[in-house]
Amino acid sequence: MLTFFLRRLLSLPPLLLVISLMTYMLLQLSPGDFYAKLEQDQKYGFDYVMQLRTSVGRVVKVAEADRAKDIGSFTIADRVYSFSAEGALLKDGSPVDPKLEQAWVKRFRLPGDSSQLWSISERGNVYRWVGWTRGYVAWFGNVITGDLGTSWSHKAPVMDVMLERLWNTLKLEIVALIIAWGLAIPLGVWSGVRPNSLLDHLCGAVAYMSLSMPGVFLSLLALFLALSTGWFPVGDMHSLDHERMGFFAQLTDAGWHIILPASVIGFTSIAYYMRQMRGQMVEAMSSDYVRTARAKGVSARRVQFVHALRNAINPLVTMFGFSLAALLSGSFLVELIFNWPGLAVVTTNAVFAKDEPLVMASVLFSALLLVAGNMFADVLLAIVDPRIRAE
Amino acid sequence: MSPLRMSPGTTPSWTPRAAVAACALFSLVLAACSGDVPQGRLVNPADVKRAQPDKPVAPDSGTSKAVEEEHVEAARLDPPADMNDPRAKIPAYFQPVQVEPPFDADCTGLYGGTVTLGLLGETIDTFNPLTSNEATSSELSGLVFDTLTSYDSGAWRSRPSLAWKWEVSPDYLTWTFHLRKGVRFSDGTPMTAKDVVFSFEKTCFNPKIANSAVDGFKIGDAPLPTFQAVDDHTVIAKCAAIDALFLDHCSGVPIVPSARWKDAVEGDQPAYNSAMGAEHPEEVIGTGPYRVIQYATGEKIVYEPNPYSWRTAKNGQRLPYAERIVAKLVKDNTTRTLQFLGGGFDLMDSIQVVDFPQFSEKEKEGWFDLHRLGLSLNVTWLSFNQNPGMTPEGKPKIAPYRLKWFQDERFRRAVNHAVDRDQLVKNILDGRGEAIWSDTPRSNKSWFSEVTRFTYAPAKANALLDGMGLAKRDSDGIRLDAEGHRVSFDLMTNVENPIRIKVIAQLKDFLAAVGVEAQLKPAAFQEISKQLDDVHQWEAMVLGWGSAVPPDPLNGKNIHLSSGRLHVWYPQQPKPFRDWETAADSIISMLDRNPDPEARRPLWALYLQLQANQQSTIYLYAPNEYAASRSRIHNRRPSLLRPSTWWNFEELWTVDGK
């Protein structure tokens, strides 16, 4: 068992390395970056945007004295550019206003080194873009020392941003898990024990609905229900005057708000577990050991729950492990529509906005959770199935 | 879609927000005039105290005939509050302050109650308005911070704030600001000229503190203005060049306590860059009517009256009235709509045109008002790439035969004649919008000017295209040029915006009717942005401009100047490409250096006509702008300018006191 865990743990660093490297590459190779949208806003000058990029290490500003040495001269569209000793931009040997040369020098590469991107801003500042390899190495170096960086959109340490949202998402997901598993297992077992009974058919219908109804649709439907009946709040995690309530009122308030979104998440995953459970149960119930147990005179209840269930549950335990991995990112649409201040929305928005430090951290986090979820499932399996322990 | 900010206009809040730049026109500051202008018709400037709509101008087109007649919101003047009501008594939480001269707002109200705003957004980046890059954060900063002068969205002009009076020298280079006496920050420290000078010189003009407010003060190569304290209540600003929007640029600089921040602005990495982060509401100290007491991440920001608030009404009441303001953050626009309709909050800006029927139906229940604010200042346009440049590989950016069409004025006029804008508005917006012929819609009270319209006339379009030598057609009915190229091009827009996708589909049909083929190429906003900025290999594009406050033409310099970054059809020209662009550039630079409103308005009218003749950007339509507010809130003065319903938050009060 111990070597098994060690092996799992040892496979973790290479896995994280590959995942983070791929993510970083994809982020860098797709067009635009977090600050690109500011460039399209008339309110912000290019110099300002480059200043922001410098502050997060996307670009490096080249000092005036080093320009002539670092860049030398280069040709764009038959214009020869170079730098004076003071670092001023020259065109064909004479000084020129960088603002008017923006069409050519805003982003350019030197003929000798096509991998390196340079920029000269409207005010004549020269910037060297940090390539993805160097960027990754810098990021990796920081992560090794435990620094995940500062989120660009939240302007706060990534760890803080994630931790303050983590609990909100966990609350939602744990309630959803309880709803999903709490319903799926008994219903699955029941319909597996009595295949083709009325209950089995009813469960089947529910499963089809759960499988075929997209989460977004279900969420909106739930919101409309809340709006038209007034039984539940229309989204949110708390009432607006939550802080002014007493302890029990706060608890009730939180519970009242969590029911709808958690039910939606639970309902969308209920079918998988229920159908899986039913299939396994049906198979187990028709196996030889069940017949033997019956023949020995063991009670039907004991046969079902001790003999059949323990054999049937293995795949479900594995699925439970996987569901842990999806814990943090799986509820994006529900969080969005129910206006839940959770982590999934933050990390998904980070991907859209290309907030690199936050994306990288959340990818690392998800990978860790996936591995942890699998290990947890293995432990559970070992507990419920002695055969696995023996191996 | 969040109208008054330029974004790709995406519906879901999680799609990349496209900031395509604010353009928009008119300075209120200076538009207190009404002059006879040679060019076209000008709507009278807002010279009134209360938000007064421009008189509805009968649309020359039959745009909204099919749908119900929309009316522009009439000024909603609430009856004065009953001063004998015990709730009219000034609450004890206000500290005594003696402000000279007093603010004298023209309102009455009762104290207490909570006003809630529903903002579309997930988070705020910082409480520091100087370093924030989000429209929402900057708008909210008005609750907490004051500036020398502020902008009155009701009257569309600058109004006194911390400075109660100012003078400018005849050469427009020296400004003298007279500050109110007795103003205190929310921590109780007095606000003096020292803080004003600090806020300008040490924060905004600090090269180590990246901010966009400073860009406004950069006029050509002239050095930045200098601010000096003459005494505790007088500040003199000396400019090196005339800045027509100097007061507006000053209203972008929040006045912060110098004692609190003096160490944070020093050094190579000033701590001020990360000061007032979302997690530190206690650091947010200003002179505004409110102070932040809580930020619940992803949920809400809670404000409480600043006990030292210096604003007063004419009847001597201390402002603000509301005891609490809650700015609720809502991630998704559909959810925001449902929450408002469920009574979840009081004030809702930027209602999408598609949601109008839902709101107007529910309005009949009588507990809220839907404000029909008139035509939005956000405009949607179509443009053809006229960039004659080469790619780094030495190939033309646009195939030469296509470039020849795009650069031909007749081609662009033909496209104009081929497009039925009224039909477009009817199909896309259900008639809730209007065809436009320039980037200045008529709702732009101070800067609108009538321009030549190339109205829908397919016959004229055909004649123009035939005249260009594109008369021959292939078997599909698409025109061919002399070398046999099909008259066909790629038409791009950002895929995140469902309305624009419909627009390009409609345009394709209109163009096909005159034998021109548009191949639809929706792309992610990041890609569009890269194309506009860097690659310049797009052929035709549909996008939009948002508006800024104040809506002055100079806020669109990047778009209008031939050297501008967002001069879409050929950006960042080393020197004006066409003669008319030389003329246009000099008009803009005259606007830049001419603070006289009488002179500026005809200049802008001239620019609009120049641009309309060329049709380098073909302006298509502007949607109607809507906002909603619950009737329990009093002193509502909705404005077309963003934020529509809560720009006068210190005056808002609740009828029920809740």
CB B227 within 8 A of CB B197: yes
* Nearest C-alpha in A relative to B340: A234
Chain B residues in contact with A37 by the CB 8 A cut-off are: 16-19, 525, 529
**pLDDT tens digits, B482-500:** 899 999 999 999 988 889 9
Best B17, B133, B279, B557 member to test A by mutation, with max A CBs in 10 Å, is B133
8 A C-beta contact, residue B624 and residue B433: yes
- Choice among A68-82, A266-280, B10-24, B607-621 with the minimum mean pLDDT: B10-24
Nearest CA in chain B to A111: B392
How far apart (Å, rounded) are the C-alpha atoms in residues B482 and B479? 10
Mean pLDDT of B142-159: 90
- Which of B392 and A145 is assigned the larger pLDDT? A145
Region B564-588: mean pLDDT is: 88
Q: CA B351, CA B337: separation in Å to the nearest integer?
A: 8
Q: Do A40 and B334 touch (CB under 8 A)?
A: no
| B residues 634-653 lying closer than 8 A (beta carbon) to A | none
Give me the pLDDT at residue A212, please: 85
The residue of chain A with its CA nearest to that of B296 is A341
What share of chain B has pLDDT > 90, as a percent? 58
Cβ contact, residue pair A155, B125, below 8 Å: yes
> Given this model, what pLDDT does residue A189 score?
86
What is the pLDDT at residue B62? Answer: 39
What would the two tokens of residue A326 be? 């999806």
SS3 per residue for chain A? CHHHHHHHHHCHHHHHHHHHHHHHHHHHHCCCCCCHHHHCCCCCCHHHHHHHHHHCCCEEEECHHHHHHHHCCEEECCEEEEECCCCCEEECCEECCHHHHHHHHCCEEECCEEEEEEEECCCCCEEEECCHHHHHHHHHHHHHCCCCCECCCCCCEHHHHHHHHHHHHHHHHHHHHHHHHHHHHHHHHHHHHCCCCHHHHHHHHHHHHHHHCCHHHHHHHHHHHHHHHCCCCCCCCCCCCHHHCCHHHHHHHHHHHHHHHHHHHHHHHHHHHHHHHHHHHHHHHCCHHHHHHHHHCCCHHHHHHHHHHHHHCHHHHHHHHHHHHCCCCCCHHHHHHCCCCCHHHHHHHHHHHCCHHHHHHHHHHHHHHHHHHHHHHHHHHHHHCHHHHHC
Report the distance separating Cα B116 and Cα B652, nearest Å: 11
Nearest CA in chain B to A110: B392
State which residues of chain A have pLDDT below 70.
Answer: 1, 329, 388-391
Q: Which of B412, B447, B492, B462 is CA-nearest to residue B602?
A: B447
| Contact of A347 with A362, CB cutoff 8 Å | yes
B392 Cβ contact partners less than 8 Å away, ≥ 6 residues apart: A76, A108, A109
Nearest chain A residue to B115, by CA: A240
- Whether A240 sits inside 8 A of B19 (CB atoms) is no
- Please answer yes or no on whether A224 and B338 come within 8 Å at the CB atom: yes
CA distance A140 to chain B (A): 23
Lowest mean pLDDT among A99-103, B362-366, B465-469: A99-103
Contact between chains at B339 and A235 (C-beta distance less than 8 A): yes
The separation between the first and the last C-alpha atoms of chain B, rounded to the nearest angstrom, is 31
* Token output for B275: 């000061």
Q: Who wins on pLDDT, B248 or B27?
A: B248
Alpha-carbon gap, residue B130 to A269, rounded angstroms:
46
* B335-360 per-position pLDDT tens digit: 999 999 999 999 999 999 989 999 99
Interface with chain A: mutation pick from B23, B338, B359, B538, highest number of A CBs within 10 Å: B338
What does the pLDDT read at residue B44?
Answer: 32
- Report the C-alpha gap between A276 and A50 in whole angstroms: 54
Q: In this structure, are strands B290-296 and A108-110 parallel, antiparallel, or unpaired?
A: unpaired
Subunit contact B565:A102, Cβ cutoff 8 A:
yes
CB contact under 8 A, B21 and A165: no
Is the CB of B567 inside 8 Å of chain A's CB atoms? Answer: no
* Cα distance between residue B640 and residue B371, in whole Å: 10
- Chain A interface includes B391 (CB < 8 A): no
Does the pLDDT value for residue B60 go beyond 70?
Answer: no
Best of B120, B572, B582 to substitute, by most chain A Cβ atoms within 10 angstroms, is B572
B589 contacts chain A (CB < 8 A): no
- Residues in chain A closer than 8 A to B296 (CB atoms): 238, 341
How confident is the model over B620-634, as a mean pLDDT? Answer: 94
A391: its two tokens: 């191996």
CA distances from B595 to A361, B101, B547, B556, B624 (A): 51, 27, 21, 17, 31
Q: Contact, B463 vs B451, CB < 8 A?
A: no
Name which of A44, A52, A154 is nearest B278 (Cβ-Cβ): A154
List alpha helices for B7-63, DSSP H: none
- Give the pLDDT score at B51: 33
Averaged over B641-655, what is the pLDDT?
A: 91
Q: How close A354 comes to chain B (CA, Å)?
A: 9
Q: Are strands B149-152 and B157-160 parallel, antiparallel or unpaired?
A: antiparallel
Q: What are phi and psi of B350, to 5 degrees?
A: 55, 60
To the nearest whole Å, the CA of B506 is away from the closest chain A CA by 26
Q: A103 and B344 in contact by Cβ < 8 A?
A: no
Q: Write the residue in A42, A165, A235 that is nearest to B22 by C-beta.
A: A42
**Report for A144-148, B501-505, B566-570: range of highest mean pLDDT:** B501-505
Mean pLDDT for B215-226 is 87
Instruction: Look at residues B121, B533, B16, B21 and name the one whose alpha carbon lies nearest to residue A38.
Output: B21
Interface of B with A in 5-24 (CB under 8 A): 6, 12-23
pLDDT of residue B72: 52
For B238, which DSSP code?
E
Residue B489 is predicted with a pLDDT of 96
| B571 or B574, which is more confident | B571
Is residue B530 within 8 A of residue A31, CB to CB? The reply is yes
| Interchain pair A341, B296: CB under 8 A | yes
CB B574 to CB A243 under 8 A? no
Edge to edge, the sheet with strand A89-91 lists: A74-76, A79-83, A89-91, A94-95
Mean pLDDT computed over B86-110? 90
Structural tokens at position A132: 């993805």
Residue B33 pLDDT grade (very low, low, confident, very high; cuts 50, 70, 90): very low
Confirm or reject contact between B282 and chain A (CB < 8 A). no
Cross-chain residue pair B328–A240, CB shorter than 8 Å: yes
Indicate yes or no: CB of A102 within 8 angstroms of CB of B334.
no
Domains and CATH numbers, chain A: 32-144 (no CATH), 158-390 (1.10.3720.10)
Q: How far is CA B358 from CA B151, B354, B544, in A?
A: 32, 8, 25
Sort out which chain A residues have CB atoms less than 8 A from B293's CB and list them.
Answer: none
Residue type, B141: S
Counting residues of chain B whose pLDDT is more than 70, the rounded percentage is: 88
What was the pLDDT predicted at B510?
Answer: 96
Contacts of A345 in chain B (CB under 8 A): 14, 122, 298, 331
Range A261-264 contact pairs with CB under 8 angstroms and sequence separation of 24 or more: A261/A172, A261/A176, A261/A219, A261/A222, A261/A235, A261/A331, A261/A334, A261/A335, A261/A338, A261/A340, A262/A172, A262/A175, A262/A176, A262/A179, A263/A176, A263/A179, A263/A222, A264/A215, A264/A218, A264/A219, A264/A222, A264/A334, A264/A338
B508 and A CB contact within 8 Å: no
Question: What pLDDT, on a 0 to 100 scale, did the predictor assign at position A390?
Answer: 60
Partners of residue A329 in chain B, C-beta under 8 Å: none
Is B277's CB within 8 Å of A155's CB?
yes
Which chain B residues have a beta carbon less than 8 Å from that of A40?
A: 18-21, 529, 532-533, 566
Which chain A residues are Cβ-neighbours of B529 within 8 angstroms? Answer: 31-32, 36-37, 39-40
